[in-house]
Amino acid sequence: MPAQVLVVDDDSAVRRAVARFLRAEGIDVLEASNGEEGLTRLRQAPDVSAVLLDLRMPIMDGWTFRREQRLDPSIAKIPVVIMSGADVDRFNELEAAAAFEKPVQMSEVVVVLHRLCGD
């Protein structure tokens, strides 16, 4: 079974491009347009191996998503990879498995995701 990654980003063009790239690399993708939707998807999909998370989003941003995720024992251990053009100096506060500043080389992100997903 291929690894499954949840991509949480409010920019639909970015989300689609990332999803297309990941699928071409053999990774199954779920998508969410904000943190609230991302938490719902994560709770409904227990097979998600990792989350690729933007920080600046409407409704619920990546900071709130991460706080809520860490408070929920059923999803707290799912590793998060930050991919954002904002708040770069604060990435370490999120205790993410990895963090990339946009624009990003997707090949580097894929290497990290495959490692996190045990591929």
Classify residue 1 by burial, with Cβ atoms within 10 Å: 0-12, 13-18, 19+: exposed
- Which DSSP helix (H) or strand (E) runs through 88? none
* Assigned CATH for 4-116: 3.40.50.2300
Query: Domain ranges in the chain?
Result: 4-116
Q: In this structure, what token pair is assigned to residue 18?
A: 């990332």
User: pLDDT (tens digit, 9 = 90+) per residue, 3-59?
Assistant: 899 999 999 999 999 999 999 999 999 999 999 999 999 999 878 999 999 999 999
- Which DSSP helix (H) or strand (E) runs through 51? strand 50-53
Average pLDDT over residues 65-91: 91
